[in-house]
Amino acid sequence: MAIATRRRFQGRAWRDTVSFYLFISPWLLGFLGLSVIPLALGLGASLTNYDGYNLDNLRFRGLGNYTRVFDDPDVWHALWRTFVFSLMNVPLSIGLALGLAILLNGAIPARGLFRTIFYLPHIIPIVAVVWIWRIFVDQNYGLLNGLLGVFVPDIAVRWAVDYPTQVLTALTVWTGVGGGMVIFLAGLQGIPNELKDAARIDGAGTFRMYRTVIVPLLTPVIFFELVLTMIRSLQTLVAPMLLSGDQLATIPSRDNYLFLVHAYQQVFAQQRYGYGLALIWMFLVVIVALTYAVFKTSKYWVYYEVDQDGGAKA
């Protein structure tokens, strides 16, 4: 009897296991075919002289592509410009998103309409966004020069040429602030009203309540948005190229020559697939290192109602 029961249990467990893998097989096949296998092939190609065309001349180079990075002056320039752009984009994006969330979390007229308006740029395709901004900052017919012309006649500032990083930063902030606003709105609405009422009873004004109650409780959301915005900023690729020309092969100005732009040029313009993939893998290490540093510093400024060890805070 016990043996029969055990066999039935094992048979049921086996059927459950098979059913589970059958149900997840579409996702599993997609994950293997579109993520794991391409990553493995990319890592292997970064160790060769692969040029994207002739496999007969394929040769193993070992770490040659990776050591070559340190002798490429464009790499260090692109890395520096990426950090400069990110240092401008990340604080502005987070600050504006948080400010909009605080404003639109209050009882203001047409609150839902304003939320929709600010969120729309976040879902517009990047190509359309770039063309909107190219029209906006056009030297001769741009709306920005047109508005400034009301105060300064005959103004014709070449915004995309003279201020390329500022234009790219403004474009990126405009497209990203809506998504951050939605995340911060969710965080603000998750703060218990009892804590706000207690702060008011204790005599806290609006500024003090935000400084001592709301912002500390919002730090996990700020931390989450900081990591997302930082990674998204470091991975900027399409916008700087399309701001400078009509095609993705266009080389942007030196101020907007970001790291992934350099890797893209090596792969698709110069046909140096192995070297370009080595650049991408090394940049992945940089992103992981920066993300790890942010995680390590979070314990000094992120407040959790529950300790990370699992216990509730006193």
| Span 3-38, pLDDT tens digits | 555 666 566 777 888 888 899 999 999 999 989 999
- Tell whether 90 and 146 lie within a shared domain: yes
Q: Is residue 9 one of the residues assigned to a domain?
A: yes
- Tell whether 20 and 148 lie within a shared domain: no
Q: Is 2 a residue whose pLDDT tops 80?
A: no
Q: Is residue 116 one of the residues assigned to a domain?
A: yes
- Tell whether 149 and 21 lie within a shared domain: no
Q: Is residue 67 one of the residues assigned to a domain?
A: no
- Tell whether 34 and 119 lie within a shared domain: no
- Tell whether 6 and 114 lie within a shared domain: no
- Tell whether 211 and 173 lie within a shared domain: yes
- Tell whether 13 and 156 lie within a shared domain: no
- Tell whether 268 and 121 lie within a shared domain: yes
- Tell whether 30 and 104 lie within a shared domain: no
- Tell whether 136 and 264 lie within a shared domain: yes
Q: Is residue 55 one of the residues assigned to a domain?
A: no
- Tell whether 149 and 102 lie within a shared domain: yes
Could you tell me which residues come within 8 angstroms of residue 184 by beta carbon, excluding any fewer than 6 positions away? 97, 98, 100, 101, 102, 218, 221, 225
Q: Is residue 158 one of the residues assigned to a domain?
A: yes
Q: Is residue 62 one of the residues assigned to a domain?
A: no
| Predicted TM-score of the model (pTM) | 0.86
Q: Which alpha helices (DSSP H) does the chain contain, by range?
A: 2-31, 37-45, 64-68, 73-104, 111-123, 126-136, 143-149, 159-162, 164-189, 193-201, 206-209, 215-234, 238-244, 259-264, 273-297
Burial 120-155 (b: 16+ CB within 10 A, else e): ebbeeeeeebbebbbebbbeeebebbeeeeeeeeee
Q: Is residue 236 one of the residues assigned to a domain?
A: yes
- Tell whether 286 and 231 lie within a shared domain: yes
Domain span at residue 178 reads: 72-300
What's the structural domain count of the chain? 2
193-217 pLDDT, tens digit per residue, is 888 878 888 787 778 888 888 888 8
45-81 pLDDT, tens digit per residue, is 999 988 877 777 888 988 999 999 989 999 999 999 9
Q: Is residue 207 one of the residues assigned to a domain?
A: yes
